[in-house]
Amino acid sequence: MFGEYAERHEITPLIAEHAATNSPSSSKSSRLQLARNVLIFALIFALSVVTGRRISFTGTTKLLKSREPAENEEMISIILTADNGDMVGTSESGQIKALMTDLHGEEYDQERLFCQEALHGYLFGQNTMIITTGIGHDRAALCLRSILAHYHKSTKEILFLGTGGFSPARGGILNSDECDSASPAVRTEIVPLGSVCVSPLTTNWDCHKCVWPSSVHSACAPPPCTLHDRADLFGDWGCSYYTTPSLADEVLDASNDLALPLPSSTLRALEAKYWQKMANGTGESYQVGTLQPKVLPYTVCAETTSNTFWVGTPYDELGRDYVALVINSALESDLYLDNPPALSLAARATKRDTVCVSAMEGTGWMEVLALEEVYLKYDKIPAVNIRGAADFVHPPLMRRPDGTWREDSAFVEDLAGDVMTVQGYDLAIQTTSAIVINLFRVRAMKNGAGQRKTSNK
């Protein structure tokens, strides 16, 4: 994963040398380790200062020591979530925890965790940890590192379950290279709320240079951002990450015949109103149907991580372009040539083929996996990001008499409070939970076929 990035961007000799010679006896390694530890503590202090409040973790900042799994120890599936319910009142892990047996607090020293919650139990008889990291890529990274420092060699897989803002349609409604008209209804693939993106890929939306435009006349305008994913600007750590596709393929295969939960009548009415407003503003009669949530594969979607809650049509276009870039990079990489995915593309992806998922944790926890591979020489852990569409990344669009476009801000103002947001998040939690629960149920029905049950000691 990280090796692919280093190869593409000519990772500096210093980092390459450190990655090759990392050992406890190396003074360079010791200095770098100390620097990393100091950086972690500085980050925590900075977070507390910036937010103006005390950051509460499960425990203190004691460092973890790696552990060797016991002989024939059962491998662990780690399920990560971010929100414990603070955002909309519904925990992202609640439905899964309700089905787990022998659920208990993590057994090793709780003071060593940088997580809001870490529980251990069994999901359909399979050894599972369900973890709440906290919101944001920094919290996700700190939490997963503290878990893997203890459990890396016992970890079978990592599944991140969460919500996000989605492009309202695959390929978008507007693209700045053709502003004369919106996407024709007959070619528009609507993304209903509750739809789920299953992807082993993620890219950092913030890894770019943006220049404030002198004026903005239309919502259909090229985003003023360039230089995405440049190692010389954003460092050798990289901005884009991808893991082996095996787990994502398994999740997608298990979901083939799965009927995802439907929106409530209230949410369906509000979503239909969104598309009616879009039709009125674009002149296109979009066919919304039943608004049945769908499953989107990694050849179509990926998370663009940002701690900015951005809203806007040009931002969506930018995000869809970044998604296309990371999809092409992964599918053309040596990693995917050596580990062939079940899915492929007839042609390279473009912004007119993709769905952008705006969320806040992906590059945080996936960066941890990458750095453990390059610095600690750990084996790759299969991982997948499972995100549900809680809302759309821009309001309905309207064309002005002069041919320019604007966003219909009145639509948001006319909503009944936060009903659409709250119910959208609730549906996204239902659908992503259904995907994960179904995966474990299918495995159980197959009597554990294909599972790594024990360590390879």
- Distance from chain centroid for Cα 308: 14
Rg (CA), the chain: 22
Query: Tens digit of pLDDT for each residue in 171-185?
Result: 999 998 889 999 999
Q: Which whole number is the average pLDDT over 394-405?
A: 93
The owner of tokens 């940890």 is: 129
Predicted confidence band at 90 (pLDDT cuts at 50, 70, 90)? confident
Q: Which whole number is the average pLDDT over 59-80?
A: 67
Predicted confidence band at 210 (pLDDT cuts at 50, 70, 90)? confident
Q: Which whole number is the average pLDDT over 183-203?
A: 95
* pLDDT given at position 199: 98
Higher-scoring residue by pLDDT: 296, 186: 296
- C-alpha distances out from residue 189 to 138, 172, 286, 432, Å: 34, 9, 9, 20
- The mean-pLDDT minimum among 150-164, 204-218, 381-395 falls in 204-218
pLDDT of residue 55 exceeding 60, the answer is no
Helical H runs in 227-348? 231-234, 246-254, 265-282, 313-331, 334-338
CA–CA separation, 101 and 159 (whole Å) = 19
Q: Which whole number is the average pLDDT over 343-353?
A: 96
pLDDT of residue 76 exceeding 90, the answer is yes
* pLDDT given at position 8: 35
Predicted confidence band at 235 (pLDDT cuts at 50, 70, 90)? low
Report which of 429, 446, 447 is spatially closest to residue 161, judged by C-alpha positions.
429
Q: Are strands 397-399 and 405-407 parallel, antiparallel or unpaired?
A: antiparallel
Q: Which whole number is the average pLDDT over 25-45?
A: 45
Q: Which whole number is the average pLDDT over 244-273?
A: 96
pLDDT of residue 273 exceeding 90, the answer is yes
Query: Tens digit of pLDDT for each residue in 122-180?
Result: 999 999 999 999 999 999 999 999 999 888 889 999 999 999 999 999 999 999 888 99
* pLDDT given at position 375: 82
Query: Tens digit of pLDDT for each residue in 428-447?
Result: 999 999 999 999 999 999 97
Q: Are the beta carbons of 126 and 351 closer than 8 angstroms?
A: no
Q: How confident is the prediction for the chain on average, in pLDDT?
A: 82
The pTM is what? 0.82
Q: Which pair of structure tokens corresponds to residue 231?
A: 């190692």
